[in-house]
Structure 1
Amino acid sequence: MSYTYETYDVVVVGAGHAGCEAALACARLSFNTLIVTISMDSIALMPCNPNIGGTSKGHLVREIDALGGEMGKNIDKTYIQSKMLNISKGPAVHSLRAQADKQDYSRSMRKVLENTQNLTLKQAEVAEILVEEGNVVGIKTFSGGIYPCKAVVLCTGTYLNARCVFGDVSIHTGPNGLQAANHLTDSLVAIGIEMYRFKTGTPARIDRRSIDFTKMEEQFGDEEIVPFSFTNNPEDIKKEQVSCWLTYTNENTHDIIRANIDRSPLYSGNIKGTGPRYCPSIEDKVVKFADKERHQVFIEPEGNYTNEMYVGGMSSSLPEDVQYQMYRSVAGLENAKIVRNAYAIEYDCINPMQLKPSLEFKKIGGLFSGGQFNGSSGYEEAAAQGLMAGINAAMKLLGKDPLVLDRSQAYIGVLIDDLVTKETHEPYRMMTSRAEYRLLLRQDNADLRLTKIGYQVGLIPEERYQKLKIKEVQIEEEINRLNNTLIGANQEVQTLLEQYGSNSLKTGTTLGELIRRPELTYEMLKPIDKNRIPLDQAVIDQVNINIKYEGYIQRQLKQVEQFKKLEGKLIPKDIDYSVVPSLRIEAKQKLIQIRPMSVGQASRISGVSPADISVLLIYLEQLRKTR
């Protein structure tokens, strides 16, 4: 029997990283929002690695924050170690990464949700999406509860028909032993949604007391803390940090794995789902990289109030007895006691090419989707999609155009464009190499790129936006001052240049020209910069980067101009690709399937060649003249 309960504007299905951001966005934009989770213990759960950020993922977190999301603020409250990665390389690939106290992270996010106006939490299993005349009208729970609504955001993560596997053991459960969602997939298939079956995995957790850290390399956090959230000051969130540890597998480890590879469900055929290429299990590493004598293993604490340690780099689905042999062959883990076995998890997700760039389903109005359900991997990718799906659900209810970030604006734009345009046959992972304009899309300038957009949407308060405008003015004025401040070839200047191994001056120059030298920075020139005024470090960083990389930045801006031209060539919604002359059959099929919004998006579709784009451009011009 079914019962109809309260009516909501938006229902968010799932309370993982995507669901939290989606629900908060809708509620903060004044829509009455219900977030339904299969377990209240799964809110912002971190079932795998105990960290937020990392290479390219740190960019996503700062972009989420710049748009008004919550992930950056939450990790700033709950981190136990913070580290900036890739600092020996250029600023485009600098990425912030923080170890989290897992339980604290989840509790802190739950507290935010529970105290957000317009947001209601409900523990239940959603079994059906209710659709009438091609539009969402509500959801139905397994217990029969019906909740009418105007929009639904699906953020089911890895819970749909989830199955955890190691060796011959197969348990129909979600991550961390939580209940799986076993009824929603049938409803989605019934309303015409194409489903995929993906797989991911996690390593064992080991008792800290059984580890010999003297055989490992200690990994410390940074002394100078860089917050994820632009709203936080470094000194305000500084705290005593914990250490992580580095060790390595060895030939004995690899021999144990090879000897038991037939017992791995990955190789025995017991696992059917497609796994992530860029986060392989240890058995995958040993098989596919047979020439490697060792692989890195990071031992990371799961929190301040637990002895569980995460064995990063050694995810596995090998049997329990093999796991003991394998882990105990690693230096420092000879007496390791496993608290939780490693396992692989299979789950249902969608083909994301069914989505518009707004993350709304093409065939079902008001139905949006975000997170690992869209075929991606990672907490950060999930949160970014959840935020965008939530914003666009709200925009739809407001009768406004959706917010779609393009590839030149944000890593979030790259992520979503890749998902909805390119075929995804494995869990998608964000990487800096995927971003064509990564010098412009740095993590340090995410606020300058996106906070105005967040303000226009309604998620950034006035005070924060005004601070951004002041920062923009300070950066521009300081760059102009440095480029117009002449420095003579006097003894003080020559001595400073000699101190930093920089060539002496033969004639006068500007402070800006000196900063452009690879070996010099804004800070180094302080003794000879007599008119300098005090500025925040964030402003100084922008000034230094913009002057030092000016030539490269200008070059990328020109590339963006060309990119924008193709993005600006919109394709009519009613175009009939089947009648476009000289368009190859494969291109016609892909264009009909995806129905790109612009020529730019069409050019990135797998199976659509540059020649097809030329044909399409000619046809669109002819079409324009006849209309």
Structure 2
Amino acid sequence: MKYSANSVWENKDQYDVVVVGAGHAGCEAALASARLGLRTIVFTVSVESIAMMPCNPNIGGTSKGHLVRELDALGGEMGKTIDKTFIQSKMLNKSKGPAVHSLRAQADKKNYSNTMRRTLENQENLEVKQGEVVNILVENSQVTGIQTYSGAIYHCKAVVLCTGTYLKARCIYGDVSMHTGPNGLQAANYLTDCLKDLGIEMYRFKTGTPARIDKRSIDFSKMEEQFGDERVVPFSFTTNPEDVQIDQVSCWLTYTNEKTHEIIRENLDRSPLYSGMIEGTGPRYCPSIEDKVVKFADKSRHQVFIEPEGLDTNEMYVGGMSSSLPEDVQYAMYRSVPGLENVKIVRNAYAIEYDCIDARQLYPTLEFKKIRGLFSGGQFNGSSGYEEAAAQGLIAGINAAREVLGKEQITIDRSQAYIGVLIDDLVTKESHEPYRMMTSRAEYRLLLRQDNADQRLTKIGHEIGLISDERYQKFVEKEKIISEEIERLKHVNVGTSEKVQDLLEKYGSTPLTSGSTLAELIRRPELNYQLLEPIDEQRPEKFSQEIIDQIDINIKYEGYISRQMKQVEQFKKLETRKIPDDIDYDAVPSLRIEAVQKLKQYKPVSIGQASRISGVSPADISVLLVYLGH
């Protein structure tokens, strides 16, 4: 759909950065840019959609919780906002090691959106504008501004595209197809053609969402109640833990059954997924209930989570049952689930198709390779999830600001953060479906724990300018306390006194036959720092739980952490070996034809990135190293 303006006029205000879209990516991008001193304006199709949660009502989860804490350590806003607006919180995977512990909080959707909106509206250097951006203005491969549907031209030095699922969006269930964005909001129908004219390659992806149901029509007696944690851990390192100890709301667990699956199988011919009505590719790791029933035919049931959408509404989210089946089938399907026999649907489940890009067109800084000053983040880059979007938005906003300021753009690498893994995967690896972050994607996950995100990234956030001096000094003091206490524990010896042996016996630990340091005892699985307090006569003042956890983890996993640090050193050697922008791959002797094609297409910035491109072999990397004289 080509855009044709009836009239064009120039807005005389001068902006440094324009952000297109105010979802989770756009909010982080706009706040980062404004907080770094750049005059910033963020456009949204509706101010009511700022930080909207069109799908699940939670923030965090497996690996996603890592992203939120990393965002916070760099100076992002998502962690602070969810700490103010959650209604239930849970630490996932507590039965496993600390590398995969992940925080997840149920959000009050409306409160979350309103809180983030107030943050944007009150941020210095930032303007919020409702309007559809239809053109990106480019001269000599450099961004110069944008144009809105009304014909207004806004001049700027950098643009960050965070369009989410709005580009040529189409919502579908059964044979119903509506050209709208999520939750019935206006789609953005014109920007795609402009991007194609600029030489940007587009994909068509799909995602979906379940029905929202009326709480009054649910029989909770047939479901398992799911409680939050007794002691809540905040997302933000700046949140006082005492401020998040609130009365929490319950979620509920039920299951599909053979009757549910039979209803779905009998109506597959009416599903847009199987009729060919849906063109876009959906997320592999968040399939619709139709996909689950077909692909996991051996499963007699699937989990269904009933989650509140907020404190001021009766709407409940049916987690695990996203669908694009017709309305009548949705009623039959949901009503076959225990507890939902008389359920009333408030909003039908639907699939949504939208335009996005092949993210391999971006540098690891999230700037387009072809157009200077044009950045992008979020689902527009082919990812899925609020947290993945916010993480990209923050990095894109930081780098857009640094580009305008004439500073070197930052890259977070795979050894530093899940954010680095996420972005590296997007810009390096071929993907034909929405990308979802998972702990298994991080090869250094023992180092990239959510509990130490501040230790990995706060210094970077401070150097960028998003972490205040006061916050940084508190972090430095925390680091010092942890380091000094670990060192002390390595040098405090305890003997075989009756007091020591009684404590060991109390916790089922093997008695000592000779002296031991407290650190050696902490390494025992059944013991920890707190349990040893009675025999630690030199212990200093009482530390916070956050510091105690760091002491335990660093001592217990010291050997594994040391081994992974050595792996990171090897990784860093390849990452620091840069590839010149003007390299002629055709002139590199012995480089295979496929490798030449892929390297010319991706234009990797380092040997490390080149080594992760599909079709570039270890032998090709060796050839490159020799050619570049590394």
Same fold (TM over 0.5): yes
Counterpart secondary structure, 1:359: coil
* Residues 523, 555 of structure 2: 8 Å contact kept: yes
Shift of 1:237: 2.2
Shift of 1:620: 1.4
Are 1:277 and 2:269 an aligned pair? no
Task: Map 1:91-490; keep pairs closer than 5 Å.
Answer: 91-490=98-497
Aligned-pair identity (%) = 76
Shift of 1:232: 0.8
Are 1:561 and 2:569 an aligned pair? yes
**Alpha-carbon separation, structure 2, partners of 1:599 and 1:518:** 40
* Residues 233, 244 of structure 2: 8 Å contact kept: no
Equivalent position to 2:617, from 593, 605, 609 = 609
- Look up the equivalent residue of 1:155 and give its one-letter code: C
**Alpha-carbon separation, structure 2, partners of 1:226 and 1:252:** 40
**Alpha-carbon separation, structure 1, partners of 2:373 and 2:600:** 22
Shift of 1:234: 1.2
- Look up the equivalent residue of 1:2 and give its one-letter code: V
**1:25-74 deviation per Cα after TM superposition (whole angstroms, max 9, x unaligned):** 00000100000000011100000000000000000000000000000000
**Alpha-carbon separation, structure 2, partners of 1:585 and 1:341:** 51
Are 1:56 and 2:63 an aligned pair? yes
Counterpart secondary structure, 2:414: coil
Structure 1 residue runs of 4 or more that deviate by more than 2 Å after TM superposition? none
**Alpha-carbon separation, structure 1, partners of 2:130 and 2:359:** 27
**Alpha-carbon separation, structure 1, partners of 2:303 and 2:275:** 26
Partner of 2:8: 2
Please list every run of 5 or more consecutive structure 2 residues that lacks an aligned counterpart in the other structure: 1-6
**Alpha-carbon separation, structure 2, partners of 1:384 and 1:316:** 27
Are 1:547 and 2:594 an aligned pair? no
**Alpha-carbon separation, structure 2, partners of 1:295 and 1:578:** 53
**Alpha-carbon separation, structure 1, partners of 2:306 and 2:163:** 29
Equivalent position to 2:626, from 595, 607, 618 = 618
Are 1:506 and 2:520 an aligned pair? no
* Residues 133, 191 of structure 2: 8 Å contact kept: yes
Are 1:520 and 2:527 an aligned pair? yes
**Alpha-carbon separation, structure 2, partners of 1:73 and 1:568:** 34
TM-score computed with the length of structure 1 as normaliser: 0.99
Counterpart secondary structure, 2:41: strand
Please list every run of 5 or more consecutive structure 1 residues that lacks an aligned counterpart in the other structure: none
**1:209-252 deviation per Cα after TM superposition (whole angstroms, max 9, x unaligned):** 00000000000001111000000111122211000000000000
Answer with 295-304 or 521-530: which moved more: 521-530
- Look up the equivalent residue of 2:66 and give its one-letter code: H
**Alpha-carbon separation, structure 1, partners of 2:492 and 2:46:** 61
- Look up the equivalent residue of 1:573 and give its one-letter code: D
* Residues 35, 125 of structure 2: 8 Å contact kept: yes
Shift of 1:326: 0.4
Answer with 531-540 or 486-495: which moved more: 531-540
Are 1:536 and 2:541 an aligned pair? no
**Alpha-carbon separation, structure 1, partners of 2:73 and 2:552:** 21
Shift of 1:414: 0.3
- Look up the equivalent residue of 2:343 and give its one-letter code: A
**Alpha-carbon separation, structure 2, partners of 1:108 and 1:430:** 26
**Alpha-carbon separation, structure 2, partners of 1:377 and 1:512:** 42
**Alpha-carbon separation, structure 1, partners of 2:586 and 2:526:** 58
Partner of 2:4: none
* Residues 611, 621 of structure 2: 8 Å contact kept: yes
- Look up the equivalent residue of 1:33 and give its one-letter code: T
Answer with 246-255 or 575-584: which moved more: 575-584
Equivalent position to 2:601, from 593, 611, 616 = 593
Counterpart secondary structure, 2:531: helix
**Alpha-carbon separation, structure 1, partners of 2:223 and 2:243:** 32
- Look up the equivalent residue of 2:217 and give its one-letter code: S
Partner of 1:44: 51
**Alpha-carbon separation, structure 1, partners of 2:348 and 2:369:** 41
**Alpha-carbon separation, structure 2, partners of 1:578 and 1:254:** 55
**1:2-33 deviation per Cα after TM superposition (whole angstroms, max 9, x unaligned):** 11112210000000000000000000001000
**Alpha-carbon separation, structure 2, partners of 1:153 and 1:545:** 39
